[in-house]
């Protein structure tokens, strides 16, 4: 196989040399006692000598001061103004499958609406028997359900369409979060208003200054959509649409209207801004793909990655990452450490839920030579995550949205990782 590395330029010479090197013996994670005594063991630390904060000091708990780097980050050059922009989930700092509320990426078109729930209403109008208005209290009196779903912006990895660009999985893959929602099935609310037989589409609308709207077919609205008011057990954060947002499982994040104030029922799609000039994919032949709602299976190795280098030298190491599909579950993820010459099945750990993030691990002995890391997700429909070149063959290079191609990280002898492409 000829390996061509595109994007940033790691040393190809070293990689080839490394491929010939013999693997060294496994090394345990712990260390034998050193000659010199370890101050972390023999010295008294301040936290053993003084009383800590009492139970009245932290009415709402926050992470340790030593976790201060675990934050959402933005890419300033991406957008003209932070009120119509995006920040990214620090995937390389997380484990398991649930995204903590304060770290869920934010995407908004007109800033965060700060809504007084007492003044918020949800209206159902259009092709219904009885137009209705609900207060938040009214919504709480419908039967509610709990489901874990990922939300991925269709533009996730959009900056990588023409080649490796952003150095870190937070930036290449961080427009995703995965939380447990509590909400009312949209079906129950629509049935309460009584959808006329001519009602084939819905148009959810946000109460923020962008009044965002998207057309959603009635089959999806009646299937698994939720009108959600809780995430991970507590109220939605203002960033995520407090007091109520639409949840559209498996479908692109743009349709998950936040600060939901109105649902119109109609007989055809509305062709608004977010489904015409945005969230469509211009192909090579000048035609655009439209209504590409489902998010295809995708995965990424989160550790090691450019923001999370290997810091421990050769020996036993843990590789981990996440995978998801808008069409079901992820029964299998393959991992390669040599740019695709050899693939092994990763170990899945954690709940395997429909349209939710999955966690995988691969433990191996690193011989200290450079690595070309990739992961490849298989979903429950049998679909296999494609390479970026396979995507470009079909869709050209004009697209921003729906880039679910295989990601490559090059790791050098020092453990430093970079975003590259190989072909």
Ligand X SMILES: Nc1nc2c(c(=O)[nH]1)N[C@H]1C(S)=C(S)[C@@H](COP(=O)(O)O)O[C@H]1N2
Would you say 275 or 421 has its CB closer to ligand X?
275
* Whole-angstrom distance, CA of residue 35 vs CA of residue 100: 42
Using Cβ positions, the residue closest to ligand X within the complex turns out to be 206
**Residue length of the chain:** 423
Residue 333: closest CA among 366, 368, 293, 374:
374
Q: 134 or 293, CB closer to Mo ion?
A: 293
Chain mean position to CA 221? 23
Binding residues for Mo ion, how many (CB under 5 A)? 4
Show the beta-strand stretches assigned E in 4-130: 5-7, 85-86, 107-108, 122-126
Place of tokens 């843990």: 318
Choices 28-36, 99-107, 190-198, 296-304; region in contact with ligand X by CB under 6 A: 99-107
**Dihedral class, residue 402 (left if φ above 0, else alpha if ψ from -120 to 50, else beta):** left
| Closer by beta carbon to Mo ion, 139 or else 255 | 255
Give yes or no for residue 206 binding ligand X (CB under 6 A). Answer: yes
- Kindly list the distances between the CA atom of residue 123 and the CA atoms of 178, 243, 311, 382, in Å, as whole numbers in the listed order: 28, 14, 54, 40
Please select the residue that binds ligand X; options are 98, 104, 195, 202, rule is CB under 6 A: 104
257 binds, among ligand X, Mo ion, none (CB under 5 to 8 A by kind): ligand X
| 215 close to 168: Cβ distance less than 8 angstroms | no
Q: Which is nearer to ligand X, 26 or 110 (CB)?
A: 110
Asked if 235 contacts 229 with a C-beta cutoff of 8 angstroms, the reply is yes
By CB under 6 A, tell whether 355 contacts ligand X: no
Residues 174-193 close enough to bind ligand X by CB under 6 A:
177
Contacts with ligand X: how many residues (CB under 6 A)?
A: 21
- Contact in structure between 152 and 175 (CB atoms under 8 Å): yes
Question: Residue 153, interface with ligand X (CB under 6 A)?
Answer: yes
Residue 210 as a binder of ligand X (CB under 6 A): the answer is yes
Give the whole-angstrom CA distance, residue 107 versus residue 341: 38
Q: Examine residue 208 and tell whether it contacts ligand X (CB under 6 A).
A: yes
Strands 245-247 and 281-282: unpaired
227 binds, among Mo ion, ligand X, none (CB under 5 to 8 A by kind): none
Of 253, 328, 339, 415, the residue at the interface with Mo ion (CB under 5 A) is 253
The residues of the shown chain that bind Mo ion, judged by CB under 5 A, are 107, 153, 253-254
The residues of the shown chain that bind ligand X, judged by CB under 6 A, are 104-109, 151, 153, 177, 206, 208, 210, 212, 239-240, 253-254, 256-259
């Amino acid at each position: 196989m000829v390996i061509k590395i595109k994007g940033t330029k790691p040393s190809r010479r070293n990689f080839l040399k490394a491929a010939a090197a013999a693997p060294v013996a496994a090394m345990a994670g712990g260390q034998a006692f050193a000659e010199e005594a370890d101050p972390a063991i023999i010295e008294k630390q301040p936290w053993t000598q003084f009383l800590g904060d009492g139970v009245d000091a932290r009415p709402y708990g926050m992470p340790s001061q030593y976790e201060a780097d675990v934050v959402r980050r933005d890419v300033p050059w991406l957008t003209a103004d932070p009120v119509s922009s995006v920040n990214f989930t620090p995937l390389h700092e997380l484990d398991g499958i649930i995204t903590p509320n304060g770290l869920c990426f934010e995407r908004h078109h007109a800033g965060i609406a700060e809504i007084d729930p007492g003044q918020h209403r949800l209206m159902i109008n259009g092709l219904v028997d009885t137009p209705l208005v609900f207060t938040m209290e009214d919504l709480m009196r419908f039967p509610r359900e709990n489901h874990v779903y990922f939300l991925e912006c269709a533009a996730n990895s959009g900056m990588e369409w023409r080649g490796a660009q952003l150095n870190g999985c937070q930036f290449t893959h961080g427009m995703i979060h995965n939380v447990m929602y509590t909400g009312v099935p949209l079906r129950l609310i629509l049935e309460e208003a009584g959808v006329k037989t001519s009602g084939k589409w819905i148009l959810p609308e946000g109460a923020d200054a962008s009044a965002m709207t998207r057309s959603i077919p009635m089959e999806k609205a009646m299937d698994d959509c939720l009108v959600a008011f809780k995430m991970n057990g507590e109220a939605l954060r203002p960033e995520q649409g407090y007091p109520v947002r639409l949840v559209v499982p498996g479908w692109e994040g743009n349709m998950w209207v936040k600060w939901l104030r109105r649902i119109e029922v109609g007989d055809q799609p509305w062709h608004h801004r977010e489904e015409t000039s945005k969230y469509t994919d211009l192909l090579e032949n000048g035609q655009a793909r439209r209504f590409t709602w489902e998010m295809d299976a995708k995965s990424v190795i989160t550790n090691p990655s450019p923001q999370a280098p290997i810091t421990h030298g050769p020996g036993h190491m843990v590789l981990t990452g996440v995978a998801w599909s808008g069409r079901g579950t992820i029964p299998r993820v393959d991992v390669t450490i040599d740019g695709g010459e050899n693939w092994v099945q990763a170990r899945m750990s954690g709940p395997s839920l429909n349209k939710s993030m999955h966690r995988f691990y691969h433990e191996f002995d690193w011989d200290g030579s450079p690595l070309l890391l990739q992961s490849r997700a298989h979903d429950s429909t049998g679909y296999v995550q494609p390479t970026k070149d396979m995507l470009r063959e079909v869709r050209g290079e004009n697209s921003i949205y729906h880039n679910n191609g295989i990601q490559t990280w090059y790791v050098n002898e020092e453990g430093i990782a970079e975003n590259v492409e190989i072909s």
